[in-house]
């Protein structure tokens, strides 16, 4: 049985019996309705018209292409900038603020007197204006980081007790924590001594010393107590290691304890200069017949001073004089015209425990703006209340 095909009118005979070809991708072309819709959409897109030469334009086309009256012909930059001054200022402020935030943190923007070498991570330690920024900058660790334990090699070793650390690294001053936040501390002469500040402050310190007051902790100086039943024996021993041409430590003006005497110590005068020293007699009391002389010197000359005193005691065959080191006395030096004002504002004397002469001497120092108003080396013995009772920090 044979079959025959009839060619389709309008198509070649070779293609009449074949299926319609598709593109290489396997997708059929879009139907005519979608192509018509896409063509209309393309015709509606606004494009810039091609401007032809004026010689080829007809008069009607020139009238149709005249610009509308509402199109802006000129721009005045100064007037536009003036009308947008608020927006421009706000934009510059935001740009400057973002640049400043990227360069520093909140703890670096505190005033100079609040800056610390080791600043606390507590946001409450910064001014209130910077507190929100400090809270945003704190990196709060997640639970995985909190639970993660350091390797054994990186764990902190158990710290030794406080006394053994001080013996190994140096004894702390009473103001050690205050200095540790503002100074570089170095072990020297058996103490942790502030060496240099962590920030620039030479000009500020000079202004304070010139117009206000500057405090300096000198508790690291060495202090010794010469005690004995006779004040003449103590004066003889000290004079044996002091400059014979200088002031006499056993003079009557110094023996009552109202003035301090500055000495120059020698191992063997005029050779072997040890260093300067300051001596003060303890006021004699009938209840305690022992005479005591306190002597303060630089710790660098401490060893040579002890050898010189031991040699003087052996040479003089003096056995009634005892020499002990004093370790429980602090020393703070105030420099500036407001030094006495600071002393009067911090120390409050116990009037009932003082004599009339002591009260009168304390009252005479009120309002003094220069040490020249006092006698050279004047000493004021005052019984005061514990400052911690009035200035409670804990």
- Residues 307-320 have pLDDT tens digits of 999 999 888 888 88
Q: What are phi and psi of 357, to 5 degrees?
A: -65, -40
Query: Using an 8 Å Cβ cutoff, are 313 and 321 in contact?
Result: yes
Strands (E), the chain: 183-188, 191-197, 214-217, 222-228, 261-268, 271-281, 291-297, 322-325, 332-335
The model's pTM is 0.59
Q: Establish how many alpha carbons lie within 13 A of residue 178's alpha carbon, considering only the half-sphere containing its beta carbon.
A: 7
Q: What is the mean pLDDT of residues 275-289?
A: 87
What's the confidence (pLDDT) of residue 84?
85
Q: What is the mean pLDDT of residues 24-50?
A: 62
**pLDDT tier at 295 (50, 70, 90 boundaries)?**
very high
Of the given ranges (61-75, 233-247, 364-378), which has the lowest mean pLDDT? Answer: 61-75
What's the confidence (pLDDT) of residue 114?
74
Q: What are the residue ranges of helices labelled H in 244-383?
A: 252-255, 302-316, 339-346, 356-364
What's the confidence (pLDDT) of residue 224?
93
- Across all residues in the chain, what is the average pLDDT? 78
What's the confidence (pLDDT) of residue 3?
46
Other beta carbons less than 10 A from residue 223's beta carbon: 18
d(CA 298, CA 326): 14
Return the sign of the alpha-carbon dihedral for residues 362, 367, 373, 378. Answer: positive
Q: Residue 363 pLDDT > 70, yes or no?
A: yes
What's the confidence (pLDDT) of residue 10?
44
For residues 363 and 298, the model is more confident at 298
For residues 155 and 257, the model is more confident at 257
Q: Residue 145 pLDDT > 70, yes or no?
A: no
For residues 368 and 213, the model is more confident at 213
Q: Residue 277 pLDDT > 90, yes or no?
A: yes
d(CA 303, CA 300): 8
Q: Residue 7 pLDDT > 50, yes or no?
A: no
What's the confidence (pLDDT) of residue 66?
53
């Amino acid at each position: 049985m044979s079959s025959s095909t009839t060619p389709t009118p309008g198509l070649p005979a070779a293609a009449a019996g074949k299926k319609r070809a598709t593109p290489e991708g396997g997708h059929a072309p879009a139907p005519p309705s979608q192509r018509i819709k896409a063509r209309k959409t393309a015709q509606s897109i606004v494009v810039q018209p091609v401007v032809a030469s004026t010689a080829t334009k007809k008069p009607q086309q020139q009238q149709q292409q005249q610009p509308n009256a509402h199109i802006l012909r000129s721009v005045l930059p100064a007037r536009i900038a003036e009308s947008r001054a608020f927006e421009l200022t706000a934009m510059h402020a935001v740009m400057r603020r973002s640049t400043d935030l990227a360069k520093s943190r909140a703890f670096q923007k505190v005033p100079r007197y609040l800056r610390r070498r080791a600043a606390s991570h507590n946001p409450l330690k910064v001014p209130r204006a910077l507190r929100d920024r400090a809270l945003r900058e704190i990196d709060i660790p997640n639970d995985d980081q909190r639970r993660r334990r350091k390797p054994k090699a990186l764990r902190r070793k158990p710290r030794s007790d406080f006394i053994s650390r001080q013996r190994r690294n140096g004894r702390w001053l009473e103001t050690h924590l205050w200095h540790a936040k503002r100074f570089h501390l170095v072990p020297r002469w058996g103490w942790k001594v502030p060496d240099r500040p962590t920030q620039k402050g030479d000009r500020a310190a000079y202004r304070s010393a010139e117009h206000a007051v500057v405090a300096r902790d000198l508790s690291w100086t060495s202090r010794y107590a010469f005690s004995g039943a006779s004040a003449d024996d103590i004066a003889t021993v000290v004079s044996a290691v002091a400059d014979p041409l200088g002031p006499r430590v056993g003079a009557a003006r110094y023996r009552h304890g109202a003035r301090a005497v500055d000495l120059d110590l020698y191992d063997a005068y005029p050779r072997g200069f040890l260093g300067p020293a300051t001596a003060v007699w303890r006021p004699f009391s009938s209840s305690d017949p022992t005479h005591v002389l306190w002597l303060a010197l630089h710790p660098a000359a401490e060893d040579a001073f002890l050898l010189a005193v031991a040699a003087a005691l052996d040479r003089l065959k003096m056995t009634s004089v005892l020499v002990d080191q004093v370790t429980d006395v602090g020393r703070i030096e105030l420099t500036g015209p407001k030094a006495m004002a600071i002393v009067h504002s911090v120390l409050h004397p116990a009037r009932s425990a003082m004599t009339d002469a002591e009260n009168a001497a304390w009252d005479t120092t009120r309002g003094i703006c220069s040490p020249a108003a006092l006698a050279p080396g004047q000493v004021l013995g005052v019984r005061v209340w514990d400052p911690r009772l009035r200035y409670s920090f804990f």
